[in-house]
A and B are shown apart, each in its own frame.
Chain A
Amino acid sequence: MIIKINKNKFDKFFKILKGNYDVFAPIGDGMNSKFSRVKSIKEINLDISNTDKSPKEIFFPQTEILFNFESQKINLNAEKNKSFAVWGMRPCDAKSLTLIDKIFGSAKQKPNDENFEDPYWKSKYDDALIFSIGCNTPASTCFCNWFESGPFEKIGSDIFVVNTDEYYLMEAVSEKGKVFLKKVTDFEKGIKKDEEKITELKKRAESYLKKSVDLKALDNVIEEIWGNPVWDELSNKCINCGACTFICPTCHCFDIQDEGKEKAGKRIRLWDSCMFPDFTGEASGHNPRLLSKDRFRQRFMHKFKYFPDNNDDYLCTGCGRCIYVCPVNVDIREVVEKIVKCES
């Protein structure tokens, strides 16, 4: 069932949402757009196709306190936050959270099938209500269609929204989404014409995307690609900054650091990047990924081989952020295309 919210009545809907949730939405224009807590609909900018910073930071902030300590006493923040709702997430980003969730969330971990859940991630992500919004005009850097997905993908979404000229058409995807939409009475119901509109927008959006690369071919080649000299050629121009990894919605590697003194301080975790030498550099001076090439290779192998080996999915959703943020124009699509062309 589709619920139809006229855009001039959106304020009313937003109030219901805000009554139940802490609401995040895309804000900002020009540079530095991101998802942020919003108080009113005036702050929201849905025209941004993909925010500069990805919404992963809502659930996995760049810096997060694991615990505070005083002398030898460890203090956990016991406050229970209001649950989060995220309005206006792109389907690629909604999907990316499900990929991070495979690591932080529900994954059965070896050995002994022990379940090392990440309480910091789960306490935020599990209760969150995610409104993903169909992507009407994918950018030329978008390649979500490579991953059996598309601009109207519903994976990772609780309520799927289609943005038409006049309306937001909403459809519950998950149980959580159904429960919420039941609270939203007083709005129109969608009719057949609306469903047709959705199909039309979806079709048009998909037509903007370029043809997908054959990832089956990639799977065949990547088995033997590790020692291939192609990595020298591909990595030559990479300057190993962490911009791609920090704006990536699926990169989730982190560091743990203590701040403060023994008497009182905090243990934090913060985003780290496989691009940095210190990511794997050991205290002895030994570094298994010493060269720029080694680190470059790790990023792509993690996304297209290691993560798929363990989790049966690529660690990339084709959002295209890394393509336009890279200072030297390393284009992840070109990297994959060149690997595919390598004879296995």
Chain B
Amino acid sequence: MVKELQKKVRELFEDKKVDMVVGWGKGSVPMSATPLFIKSIDEVDDLIFDETCQNNLAVYFTKDKRKLSKDGKKVGVIVKGCDDRSLVLYSIEKQIKRDDIVIIGVPCDGVIDKNKILRKTNNREVIEYNCDEKKVKVKGRDFELTLDKKDVLSDSCLTCSYPDAQVYDEFIGKARKKVDCKDEFKKVDDFEKLSLDERWNAITEEYSKCIRCYACRNVCPSCYCTKCFVDTNKPQWIGKSPEITDSIIFHLIRNLHVAGRCVECGACARACPVGIDLLLLNKKITKEINQRFDYTAGLDIDEKPVMTTYCENEKQDFIMG
């Protein structure tokens, strides 16, 4: 598959359809890949795609990185299903012009969450890592473990219905439409069953770990405000220190701000250096939007953003009580 991908990218360069391609290369440590910016045909050999390619590369088309795709240059980008949804979202929100980018889809069977692997190894360092369809083999200085791949996949992948791009210019292989995903909202349903106190305690415990490094926000493709509300000081909306109340406000407002825009790529959770379960509340909101408005973010390039659209027949029970 990687060979095919490289061939395709090479062709795009040869046909002068792209000036640059954003993809993934091998990371410097086991179980990691790293974003790669390919500017010429002889760098194409560095391209990889596998279950370690966990970054959502759409993020390089907004924020500070907008400059990467400027100057009338055609930029190709290699996408998993979730990354593609981010690009669709950007197109809907007028952050990119669809025609300026060449979307190259790759078939995705889920990406690993290396924190899950480290939990299995008791945080002992993994020096060698191998993965096939079903199993992940890891080796350290004094241990060897074989793990079921599904046990170390990112939570976001376990509940993913759109593993492949739906909007693309090129696809390596055959893109799947929606796949059946049982129990997509199981974790949310379980959470909802808890009492108010239990839910609050769970949230408090989770977010008390936050060190406010903003890795979650910065890797999130849907979070691209020029000035984030946490960074303003006139007025200063929230305190900057990792006090639990301020941290919760930061995360809850972020949840609401990406409501109807979250593509559930899980980049936030995988980026968190202290392992906060950042997906749960996003998933809760996704569920609400799904059920109330029959909307899933980033699928249809011609659809209007759900939170800025009003239909008369919408359920309004949340207002009316």
Q: Do A and B come from one complex?
A: yes
Q: Is A276 an interface residue, CB under 8 A from the partner? A: yes
Complex contacts, B240 vs chain A, CB 8 Å = 255, 257, 270
Given contacts A239-B219, A268-B241, contact A247 B34 (CB under 8 A): no
Chain B, 13-36, contact with A by CB distance < 8 Å: what is the 0/1 string? Answer: 000000000000001111011111
Cα–Cα distance between A62 and B217 once the two chains are bound (Å): 19
Give which listed residue, A29, A208, A331, contacts B122 with CB less than 8 A.
Answer: A29
The 8 closest A-B pairs by CB, nearest first: A31-B275, A327-B271, A329-B34, A241-B215, A63-B241, A292-B64, A241-B218, A331-B28
Q: Would you call B119 an interface residue if the criterion is a C-beta within 8 Å of the partner chain's C-beta atoms?
A: yes
A324 within 8 A of B: yes
Q: How far is the CB of B181 from chain A (nearest CB, A)?
A: 25
User: Which A residues, 235 to 279, have Cβ-Cβ distances below 8 Å to chain B?
Assistant: 236-237, 239-243, 245-247, 255, 257, 259, 268, 270, 273, 276-278
A139 at interface by CB-CB < 8 Å: yes
Name A280-325 residues within 8 Å CB distance of B: 283, 291-292, 323-325
Q: Are A29 and B37 in contact (CB under 8 A)?
A: no
The smallest C-beta distance from B235 to any residue of chain A, in angstroms, reads 14
A30 touches B118 (CB 8 A): yes
Kindly state whether residue B159 has any CB partner on chain A within 8 Å.
no
- In the assembled complex, how far is the CB of residue A206 from the closest CB belonging to chain B, in whole angstroms? 15
Q: Please choose the segment from B86-94, B206-214, B308-316 that sits at the chain A interface, where 4 or more of its residues have CB less than 8 A away.
A: B206-214
Interface residues of B (CB under 8 A from A): 27-30, 32-37, 55, 59-60, 63-65, 67-68, 115, 118-119, 122-125, 127, 141, 209, 211-215, 217-219, 231, 233-234, 239-243, 267, 270-271, 273-275
A213 shortest CB reach to chain B, Å: 14
Contact B34 A237 (CB under 8 A): yes
**CB distance B34 to A63 under 8 Å?**
no
Q: Contacts A255-B240, A257-B240, A334-B28 given: A140-B215 contact, CB under 8 Å?
A: no
The answer to whether the Cβ of A137 comes within 8 Å of any Cβ in the partner chain is: yes
Report the number of A-B residue pairs with Cβ-Cβ less than 8 Å. 129
- Whole-angstrom distance between the Cβ of B121 and the nearest chain A Cβ: 9
Chain B residue at smallest Cβ distance from A233: B37
Q: Main secondary structure on chain A at its contact with chain B?
A: loop
B273 touching A325 by the CB < 8 A rule?
yes
Given contacts A241-B215, A257-B240, A292-B64, contact A246 B273 (CB under 8 A): yes
- When distances are taken between beta carbons in the complex, the residues of chain B under 8 Å from A137 are 141
Chain B residues with CB under 8 Å of A278's CB are 231, 233
Known contacts being A32-B209, A324-B29, is A243 close to B271, with CB within 8 Å? yes
Q: Is B242 a contact partner of A63 (Cβ separation < 8 A)? A: yes
Residue contact B215 to A141, C-beta cutoff 8 Å: no
- Does A33 interact with chain B (Cβ within 8 Å)? yes
Chain A residue nearest in CB terms to B64: A292
When the two chains form their complex, are residues B242 and A31 in contact, meaning their CB atoms are under 8 A apart? no
A48 within 8 A of B: yes
